[in-house]
Amino acid sequence: MEVAFKLNDEDRVVECAPHESLRTVLRREGMMSVRYGSDTGETGAAAVLVDRRLVSADVILAAQVGGHAVMTVEALNTGPDLHLIQSAFAATGAMQSGYSTPAMILGALALIERNPDPGEAEIRDMLTGILDRETAYVKPVEAIRRAAAVMRGEHPEPFGPLIVPPLTDGTHPAVLDPDDPPPAGPPSVPRLVPSKDVPDMAVVGKPEVKVDAVKLAKGNPAFTDDIEMRGMLHAKVLYSPHAHARIVGIDDSDAVALEGVHAVLHYKNTARIKYASGGQSYPNPHPHDQVSFDDKVRYVGDRVAAVAAETVEIAEEALSRIRVTYEVLPAVYDERETLLPGAPVVHDEPDTSHIHDRERNIVHHIAARRGDVEAALAGADHVYEQTFRVHQVQQCPIEPHISIAWLDSDERLVVRTATQVPFHTRRMLAPLVEREIKDIRVMKPRIGGGFGAKQEMLIEDIVGHLAIATRRPVRYELTREEEFVSSRTRHPQTITYRTGVSADGTLVAQDMRVIGNTGAYGTHGYTVQTITGLRGLTSYNAPHKRFTCDVVYTNIPVPGAYRGYGAPQGEYALEAHMEDIALDLGMDPIEFRRKNWVKVGDEMDIAPHLGERAVAEEELEEYPKVMSNGIEECVAQGARAIGWHRRNDPAWREPADRPHIRRGLGFAFCMHGTAIPFLDMGGCSIKINDDGTFNVLIGATDLGTGADTVLGQIAAEVLGVPLEDIRIYSSDTDVTPFDTGAYASSTTFISGTAVKLAADEVADRIKDRAAKMLDVDDPTSIDLGKRMAWAKDGSSVSLQDVALHSLHLEDQEQIMGTASYVSPESPPPFAAQFVELEVDVETGQVTVTKLVMAVDCGVAINPITASGQVEGGMLQALGYGHCEEMVLDDEGRTVNPRFGPYWIYRSDDTPETEVYLVQTMEDSGPFGAKAVAEIPKDGVAPAMRNAILNATGVAINDIPFTPERVWHALNG
Amino acid sequence: MPKAVAYHRPATLEEALTLLADPGRVILGGGTVVNTPGGDLVEVVDLQALGLTRITMDGERARCGAMTTLGHLVDHDGVPSLIRDAARRQSPSALRNQATIGGVIAGADPESVLLGALAVSAATVELTGPAGSEWIGLGDVLAQGTGGRIITAVEFATTGGGVIVATGRTPADTPIVAAVARRDGDAVTIALTGVAGTVVLVDPARLDELDPPGDFRGSAAYRTHLATVLTGRALAEVT
């Protein structure tokens, strides 16, 4: 049918099918800013303006807009400059991945048109239509507020951190005066607590605008799906309806016969090559318990077959014509039940090796210890034992997994894919598609969030197989339901602590036992669980420690990597356990922790024995030590910000006018790692251009975090240029150096050091040439700054002249530098997490009113992007503790695989957040930096649990704190 | 997306009725429900050209065309704050600008706070069929459906005041149970969501007769408990 409408003020007549959504048609018309987040409209990544009102193009038919005016963000892109709203989003750090930014900008435009001075509630109400998994809405709200002000002719102050003087000497606790209020400022602004150890720098430490701001604000084609390939086919995958079954027959003849179908793949026609899908370093941890298509399915959502067809609709029709005969087997979902005698064996196939105890579904047994735990517990004054259960949640990137594969002119397989691990993907994909690594190229464009779900070689083999089979480009994008059910999730665990404490509150032993549920496949099962042990047994000094873990198979959707990677589970249990011990001992919960937490100089003694490259020796000559720790300052700043003194004030805790409400405050001590020592490696290559600017090629994988910007700042600082003179490109296996990828809080620390080393090399060569040009004997006396090379006598030459000299005039050479870095260290960031909440004691509903995190991430290379990481991470962590859960029915089907029933926080119920960046100087990091990406995931759930305890006197050990669970707990 | 195999946009009510005489055709409100995945092959009949988008005030009643979007309800100063608040809670912003009041009634979602607010506001629904138009009480429409007729308009009271008291996982979550109460003079009416197959008007003295369905957000027993607590609060707060 034909539909006539106005698109961005131009008349259009488009040909479309009656069922096609406006999103489909707009993308076909080239409006790549309109993006897929779901088929049900609530993600808002596809929100556009129809007659100047925000609507979701997912659930409006193109036919419905006939006769109406449609506007996409492309309408604002009339020239090189950004629109005022786009500028405000760039200036405030309101874009992380930027995937849904165009929708937010359109919503803001319509809002400001109706009300030039919208209040925060109105802004938040508008944003309810656009789910954001990244920013916690803090900076988008600020961006819209500032944009409105500028459009009214006002001139807001430049956006930057609020400098807050330290409250401590960095070592000793502060005594807080309850009458001393915290610093006033908008919540979007990070509170930066400076350190005398950190020098002032030109670019590092500054609130630079993200290097990808223009393409993100304009909605330019930058994401995986934003290219059009001639002759491209569309893939769909048939997923298992059964939690556990053998495929005894498959008949694809009707599907193959369907016009427009080009390939149907399944176990009968695809080579059986074993692999493990977790995106990890070579050699991938065993067991290799997957194949592209198996003759057994192990969860509802497991792969059965894949189709490539001319359209998505034909592919779907083809799936319905594949006749599969299943022999349904008993299934098991709970990690405790799978260990019981008689439980079904999930992996009974003979060709998977390295399963620890196949009959009992134990894929790994992990053990690590220091000292003699049993003897120490036997001699302890007090022994506490507690068991906690943590549940299954999903990462929920708004951009689901998507990959496009094709054969290039050399007939090499090219895969453009939303991945955090392009280099691992290339290496892991090669054997599956029976090609050599040299014949595969993996390109990572902009990524719409990943949070670990994309640390996986998840669907690249499907498009690879299909592209090779059809010799056509093949695109496969998961639906939202498939993203929930068939991608990756967080591991559920049952965690038991036994802790021995002496009478004065000193820990003498900690014993941690974990049953980790890795679902149908191993993938990250081993390493996630080791991180649970590492994080669960490193925060506090105890001379005797033991970690014992069974990682078990079940028939639930597959857990994998999720931001925090085992730490949120372990630290939840640890910080709940420590709270209860403190209260039982009659000690202040923070004082009890302080007595035991690791301090500068303390050994992290179990760390080398756990992790992807754990050492087997029982005793090492040297253990890594904590070299920087800003926790005392974090506690002081956070306690003042949350009003910690109120926790024992009955008048505050029991508001007289609301008799069913109890208020509470909770705390959690957080400690994380920075990269995997001796393993994570990043490479960087830098070259100078004719104009004295630089290309920086990195394998590091910015998935929205701002990594490209931070790495650019590091290069700019070394090379003496503004950030705008750095052109970053990441990442492409043909073009950029290797990098393990975006995970394990490693990019700033590992890839950043590689950038710094490469930049140092380039700087040396610039200085050599500048010395010649300036007739200076000692090149090391040359300084770089303000785009110039300076001699001590004040003479100078511009970097442009150095570049022209080197490229064209004399002793010609390409000034360039290449470096890579792997670290023996993993310096821990620390944080104090505070939560303020209300409990409705009659209904069990918990309402979180404020989150404060004060984090020591070393030197924040960019305080705006760093605070954005903390804001977004805290909100994900709040969802984990409070309201997110994947619910399975008795048949193993996920009953809530869509937003709404699966609730992620929305703009209008997000609590107030405040972020403190406590600066410390970490000598092992580039310009003093440690990690910041994952630590915000660690403390919210336990601090929330401890706040409920403070409010009601009731300790709840299982998450999430949904109303009925809390109500049952309150009622015994 | 559903397989809408044909799209119709009738210019008149008569044309719409003629089209809808074919049982293979369904009414497209804003599309936020019909245009989601699953379901059969259908022909959709878009009522947007029928002019069913006016909101008019008539004494103590307001009348809305069935194609009035929730967004327009929220923005309309003449609509009682109870209805506006409920319409705001019903859907996030972008969907609110598409979803229609007629569509919400046709959907009969038992967890709809907007239906609760309409129920306590003595809403009546105009159903139009080949034999003409008829005004029916909202409760009857929710319980019995539209009988194949078109919802063309909705009327509700604009007097009095009301409150919404709800329990959900977070403040913006679709409530597990919500109590919506309205006082008009001495008369108080209460509707509950999440306790039955539809939104129901309840007698606070007979809440023990409820037999709610349970799900993962709230068991039957918990929903029964919430009904009592939230009804009590709504009665206390509606002044």
Q: What's the CATH code of the domain at A756? A: 3.30.365.10
A316 and A462: one domain?
A: yes
Report H helices in A675-798. Answer: 707-719, 752-774
The CA distances from residue A792 to A191, A720, A767, A783, A953, in Å, are 38, 16, 12, 8, 68
The answer to whether A439 and A413 have CB atoms below 8 angstroms apart is yes
d(CA A235, CA A479): 12
User: Using CB atoms within 10 A of its CB, is residue A26 exposed (0-12), middle (13-18) or buried (19+)?
Assistant: buried
Q: pLDDT digit string (tens) for A245-286?
A: 999 999 999 999 999 999 999 999 999 999 999 999 999 999
Instruction: For residue range A312-332, list pLDDT tens digits in order.
Output: 999 999 999 999 999 999 999
Chain B residues near residue A887 by CB distance under 8 angstroms: 216
d(CA A866, CA A93): 10
Helix (H, G, I), strand (E, B) or coil at A154: coil
Q: What is the CATH number of the domain that holds A57?
A: 3.10.20.30
> Mapping DSSP to helix (H, G, I), strand (E, B) and coil, where does residue A70 land?
strand
Beta-ladder partners of A235:
A308
Shortest CB distance from B7 goes to which of A18, A126, A906?
Answer: A18
Average pLDDT, chain B: 96
Give me the helices (H) in A537-653, please: 567-585, 589-596, 631-642, 650-653
**Which chain B residues touch A901 with a CB distance below 8 Å?**
217
Is A144 within a domain?
no
CB A730 within 8 A of CB A441: no
Distance of CA A615 to the CA centre of its chain: 28
Percent of chain A residues topping a pLDDT of 90? 97
pLDDT digits (tens, 9 = 90+) for A676-688: 898 999 999 999 9
How many helices (H) and strands (E) would you count in chain B? 8, 12
B169 touches chain A (CB under 8 A): yes
What is the tens place of the pLDDT at every residue in B215-233? 999 999 999 999 999 999 9
Q: Are residues A450 and A519 in the same domain?
A: no
Rounded distance between C-alpha atoms, residue A333 and residue A888, angstroms? 9
A743 and A759 fall within a common domain: yes
pLDDT of residue A481: 97
More confident site: A311 or B38: A311
Q: A448 and A513 in one domain?
A: no
Residues sharing a CB contact under 8 Å with residue A340, sequence separation 6 or more, in sequence order: none
**pTM reported for the whole predicted model:** 0.97
Average pLDDT over residues A479-495: 98
DSSP B193: E
Euclidean distance between CA atoms B142 and B120, whole angstroms? 14
When pLDDT is cut at 50, 70 and 90, the band that residue B3 belongs to is confident
Residues A370, A510 within the same domain: yes
CA distance A351 to A271: 14
Is A66 part of a structural domain of the chain? yes
Which residues of B fall within a CB distance of 8 Å from A847?
A: 170-171
Which residue on chain A is closest to B98 by alpha carbon?
Answer: A55
Structural domain total, chain A: 4
CA angle B149, B151, B152 (to 5 degrees): 120
d(CA A834, CA A814): 52
Residue A342 burial class via C-beta count within 10 angstroms: exposed 0-12, middle 13-18, buried 19 and up: exposed
Measure B157 CA to nearest chain A CA, in Å: 26
Same domain? For A377 and A434 the reply is: no
Q: φ and ψ at B58, to 5 degrees? A: -140, 95
pLDDT higher than threshold 60 for residue B1? no
Cα–Cα–Cα angle for A506, A511, A513, rounded to 5 degrees: 150
Is B7 at the interface with chain A, CB within 8 A?
Answer: yes
At residue A647, the 3 state secondary structure works out as helix
Last-in-domain residue among A794, A822, A850:
A822
Which CA distances in Å does A335 have to A109, A129, A340, A392, A889? 50, 37, 10, 12, 16
Contact B222, A967 (CB under 8 A): yes
Q: Which residues of B touch A844 (CB under 8 A)?
A: 167
pLDDT digit string (tens) for A877-904?
A: 999 999 999 999 999 999 999 999 999 9
d(CA A320, CA B239): 57
- Looking at residues A92-108, what average pLDDT do you find? 98
Q: From CA B100, how far away is CA B107, in angstroms rounded?
A: 10
Strand order from edge to edge, sheet including A912-918: A162-163, A191-193, A912-918, A846-856, A830-840, A661-671
Same domain, A441 and A555: no
Number of CB atoms found within 10 A of residue A603's CB:
16
- Give Cβ neighbours of residue A945 (< 8 Å, ≥ 6 apart): A572, A575, A576, A579, A666, A881, A955, A956, A957, A959, A961
Chain segment A709-728, per-residue pLDDT in tens: 999 999 999 999 999 999 99
Would residue A581 count as lying in a domain?
A: yes
Has residue A350 been placed in a domain? no
Q: What is the DSSP letter of B34?
A: T
- Tokens representing B43 are 């022909």
* Cα–Cα distance for residue pair A653/A907, rounded to 1 Å: 27
Is the omega angle on the peptide bond into residue B219 within 30 degrees of 0, that is, cis? no
Q: In 3-state terms, what secondary structure has residue A607?
A: helix
State the Cα–Cα distance between residues A747 and A732, nearest whole angstrom.
16
Cα A110 to its chain centre, rounded Å, is: 31
State which of A24, A57, A76 marks the end of a domain: A76
- Are A40 and B9 in contact (CB < 8 Å)? no
Domain housing A432: 224-329+395-486
Token pair of B7 as six digits: 């799209």
Residues A451 and A385 in one domain: no
Residue A504 lies in a domain: yes
Q: A486, A502, A535: which is the final residue of a domain?
A: A486
For residue A489, pLDDT beyond 90: yes
Q: Which residue has the higher pLDDT, A484 or A745?
A: A484
Nearest by CB: A21 against B3, B35, B88: B35
Residue A45 counted as domain residue: yes
Average pLDDT, rounded, for chain A: 97
B2 — pLDDT class (breaks 50, 70, 90): low
The predicted complex's ipTM stands at 0.97
Q: Are A63 and B46 inside 8 Å of each other by CB?
A: yes
Distance between A249 CA and the closest CA of chain B, angstroms: 27
CA distances to A588, A737, A754, A812 from A686, rounded to whole Å, are: 53, 11, 11, 17
Residue B40 — very low, low, confident or very high, per pLDDT cuts 50/70/90? confident
pLDDT at A744 over 90: no
Please answer whether residues A664 and A949 qualify as being in contact, where contact means their C-beta atoms are separated by less than 8 angstroms. yes
Tokens of A784: 């770089």
Closest partner CB to A56 (pick from B44, B95, B171) = B95
Residue length of chain A: 972
On whether both A513 and A458 belong to a single domain, the answer is no
Comparing C-alpha atoms, which of B44, B204, B196 is closest to residue B108? B196
* CATH number, domain with residue A463: 3.90.1170.50
Looking at the fold, whether A561 and A476 belong to one and the same domain comes out as: no
Q: What is the dihedral of CA A774, A775, A778, A784, to 10 degrees?
A: 0
What's the gap in Å between the CA of A588 and the closest CA on chain B? 30
Please work out, in degrees rounded to the nearest 5, the angle formed at the alpha carbon of residue B146 by the alpha carbons of B145 and B148: 120
CA distance B216 to chain A (A): 7
DSSP run (H or E) holding A869 = helix A863-882
Contacts of A47 in chain B (CB under 8 A): 94
Which chain B residue lies closest to A312 (C-alpha atoms)?
Answer: B1
Burial of A68 (0-12, 13-18, 19+ CB in 10 A): middle
Beta strands in A608-680 (DSSP E): 661-671
Q: Is the distance from CB of A730 to CB of A695 less than 8 angstroms?
A: no
pLDDT at position A539: 97
Confirm if A697 and A682 have CB atoms less than 8 A apart: no
For an interface test with A, give the residue of B3, B7, B34 to mutate (most A CBs within 10 A): B7
The secondary structure of A308-369 as a DSSP string is EESSHHHHHHHHHT-EEEEEE------TTGGGSTTPPPS---TT----TBGGGTEEEEEEEE
The answer to whether residues A615 and A508 belong to one domain is yes
Confidence of residue B20 (pLDDT cuts 50, 70, 90): very high
* Region for residue A720 given its phi and psi (left: phi exceeds 0; alpha: psi -120 to 50; beta: otherwise): left
Same domain, A306 and A262: yes
Q: How far is residue A906's CA from residue A130's CA, in Å, rounded to a whole number?
A: 8
Is the Cβ–Cβ distance between B128 and B27 less than 8 Å?
A: no
Best of B45, B93, B215 to disrupt the A interface (most A CBs within 10 Å) is: B93
Taking the C-alpha atoms of residue A911 and residue A879, their distance in angstroms, rounded to an integer, is 12
Cα separation, A895 vs B215, in Å, equals: 10
**What is the rounded distance in angstroms from the CA atom of residue A58 to the CA atom of residue A39?**
6
Reduced to 3 states, what is the DSSP secondary structure of residue A192? Answer: strand
Task: Compute the count of residue pairs across chains A and B with CB atoms less than 8 Å apart.
Answer: 144
Q: How many CB atoms lie within 10 A of CB A498?
A: 19
Q: Which 3 state secondary structure label does DSSP give B49?
A: helix
pLDDT, average across residues A216-244: 97
* Whether residue A673 has pLDDT greater than 50: yes
Round to whole Å and give the CA distance between A733 and A424.
10
Residue A192 lies in a domain: no
A430 lies in some domain: yes
DSSP at A496: E
| Segment A184-202, tens digit of pLDDT | 999 999 999 999 999 999 9
Q: CA–CA separation, A26 vs A48, rounded Å?
A: 10
pLDDT tens by residue, A616-664: 767 788 899 999 999 999 999 999 999 999 999 999 999 999 999 999 9
Q: Kindly determine whether residue A883 and residue B28, on different chains, have CB atoms separated by under 8 Å.
A: no
